[in-house]
Amino acid sequence: MISTKLIVYGRVQGVGFRFYIKTQANKYNINGYIKNLIDGSVEIVAQGQESDLNSFKASIIKGNGFSRVENIEEERFSEKNFSLFSVKY
């Protein structure tokens, strides 16, 4: 199990990105959360198997058709146990 924090920059707020990411997280068995940040970026904390995380990250880059990902910063961290994937407000 791998835990990672992603900060996603680009057009990722106000375009249905959080809902799309929650759907993708469920598809790839990823637990954690997503939340909007005040600077217009989005924070995603994701926990899962490495192959699932790689597929999940590819879906983040692809986006939902309305979003545009310009950059992603990634930082791995010590595992926490998340039981599901949620949208934080």
CB count within 10 Å of CB 21 equals 28
Active site residue 26: no
Task: Find the catalytic residue in 11, 18, 26, 81.
Answer: 18
Task: Find the catalytic residue in 11, 29, 36, 64.
Answer: 36
Active site residue 11: no
Q: Say if residues 39 and 85 touch (Cβ distance below 8 Å).
A: no
Total count of residues recorded for the chain = 89
Pairing status of strand 85-88 against strand 42-48: unpaired
| Residues assigned a catalytic role | 18, 36
